[in-house]
Structures are given as structure tokens and as C-alpha cells.
Structure 1
Amino acid sequence: MGLATAIIFLLGIANFAINRAVFERGHPMFARLPSASQTLGRRAALISEFAVLFFALLLSTQGWPGYAWAYGVYTAVNGAAAWLILTGRV
């Protein structure tokens, strides 16, 4: 396991934590949805997050360490969006 793979893995943990924090916040945008849509949305978000993490890890182990940078940018954008939601700016 290379350094890029370890970095992507740690950033993946951060992304899942960000996802959970946003969904547990109870933002009015999510609260207006029916409960079935909320459940489906959470599952879809987790599945898509896992897919992005899986493919970033797969590509980094196959000799594409640049995906650590791409996944880092992805995590930064996720973090910025979560910050906007969690602080009530959106």
C-alpha cells in the first residue's frame, strides 16, 4: 500500500464523517422531504461516496497516484459544502 492509497483512505473516512454530520444536522432542506425520500437519499449518498472512494483507491493502487490529489480536491469541496450547510449559510 502506497502513500497515495493511505491518504485516499483517510480522506475517505473524513468524507463519510462529513456526510453523516450533514444528514444528522436536520437542515430544513432535508426536513421537508418525505421520510422515504430522506432514507433513499442517505443511502444513495453513501453508495455514491463509497463508489468514488473505491475507484480512487483502485486507481491509486494501479499506478495512478495523482488520484490522491483529485480525491483531496473532492474532499475539500465536500468539506466546504458541509461547512456552508452546518453553519446555516445555505
Structure 2
Amino acid sequence: MLLIFAFLMGVANFAMHKAVVECGHPFVEDTKRYFGTYLGPYGSYAIELALLIGALWLANEGSVLVGLFYLAYTGMNAVATWMLLTGKT
């Protein structure tokens, strides 16, 4: 069950990540320009994928603590996405 929750949180994280990348916020655009020189245009997605793979791997091993950390990460992503998309920053 933990594996399913980690997968669903990963899907939510990717959806939020895509929404933020495409929002056009000046902070996001500056960050893309800076990190794009080092990671390429899809480097942030690769980092997100690495986090998801790690969370899924450890969830499969039964690590509840990692599931809680990934839940906290997803919650922070949700708050940051909401702030960027609604102009609260």
C-alpha cells in the first residue's frame, strides 16, 4: 500500500512540477535559465524522477519513514506550487 501512495504522490509531484515550469513566473524563468546551463532543459525532471525512484524503492522495502518524508516533500511542493500559480510570492 505504501508503494501505491508513493507512486500517486510522484504523479502529483510531476504534475505540479510541470505546472510550475510552464507558469512563466520570473523566479522560475531565472532558475530555469541558470540551472539549464548545467542540467539541460529537462534536468529538473531528471531530479524529480530520481527522487521518485528512490522513494518507490524504499517504499517497496517497507520504509514508512521515507514515505512520510516524501509526503512532506509533496506537501511542500503543493504549497510552493499554489504560491507561484496564484501570485502570492
Shorter-chain TM range is 0.7 to 0.9
2:20 pairs, out of 19, 22, 28, with: 22
- Number of positions where the alignment pairs a residue of Structure 1 with one of Structure 2: 87
Q: Does 1:73 align with 2:76?
A: no
Query: Do the aligned partners of 1:18 and 1:79 also contact (CA within 8 Å) in 2?
Result: yes
TM-score (norm 1): 0.82
Runs of 4+ in 1 over 2 A off after TM superposition: 29-34
Please tell me the root mean square deviation across aligned C-alpha atoms, in Å: 2.3
* Seq. identity, %: 36
Displacement after TM superposition at 1:6 (Å): 0.2
* Corresponding residue number in structure 2 for 1:11: 9
TM-score (norm 2): 0.83
Query: Do the aligned partners of 1:23 and 1:42 also contact (CA within 8 Å) in 2?
Result: no
Unaligned runs of at least 5 residues, structure 2:
none
